[in-house]
């Protein structure tokens, strides 16, 4: 599995700044709801905030992978939704290393997806924690440049 199999070009966002972790989570959930899956935005944001209370999904080195499981609409043929956001101005995400976060990859998984979301989560983590991948994302000035980085043949398998 490659990360580009999990994310499409329209699922990549570059944002200049954000005021808080909560704002970013709300905005990302809103984007997933408007582009991928019609989910209950308020409920999913609450689930993500509850997950953050258990321990920050800020992994260190400027990377975070907020994630939650929720009910997907009955007519949905997907089991996960993924969105990648690059922030030009990093924010505090209460990461383990106390470093601010500028690369956020959100995963929303269906309650019915079994353990497949764990494979997806691991693939995303390996990709965005890879120094070369993170560098390419940070140097990108457009979503298209990030998409090109995702499709770089030098990217190794994510699973």
Domains of the chain from N-terminus onward: 3-147 (3.40.930.10)
DSSP H or E run through 139? helix 131-139
Q: For 102, left (φ over 0), alpha (ψ -120 to 50), or beta?
A: alpha
Catalytic residue among 67, 72, 84, 146: 67
Q: Could you tell me where the beta strands, DSSP code E, fall in 45-100?
A: 58-60, 63-64, 67-70, 80-91
Would you say how long the chain is, in residues? 159
Region 153-157: mean pLDDT is 52
pLDDT score for 154: 58
- 67 counts as catalytic: yes
Average pLDDT, the chain: 85
Secondary structure letter of residue 79 according to DSSP: S
């Amino acid at each position: 599995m490659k990360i580009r199999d999990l994310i499409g070009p329209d699922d990549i966002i570059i944002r200049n700044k954000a005021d808080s972790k909560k704002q970013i989570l709300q905005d990302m959930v809103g984007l997933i709801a408007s582009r991928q899956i019609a989910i209950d935005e308020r409920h999913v944001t609450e689930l993500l905030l509850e997950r953050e209370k258990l321990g920050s999904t800020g992994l260190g080195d400027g990377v975070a992978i907020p994630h939650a499981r929720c009910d997907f609409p009955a007519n949905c043929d997907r089991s996960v939704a993924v969105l990648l956001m690059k922030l030009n101005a990093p924010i505090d995400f209460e990461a383990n290393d106390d470093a601010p976060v500028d690369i956020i990859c959100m995963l929303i998984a269906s309650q019915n997806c079994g353990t497949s979301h764990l494979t997806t989560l691991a693939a995303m983590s390996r990709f965005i924690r890879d120094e070369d991948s993170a560098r390419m994302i940070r140097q990108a000035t457009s979503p298209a440049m990030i998409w090109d980085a995702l499709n770089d043949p030098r990217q190794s398998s994510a699973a």
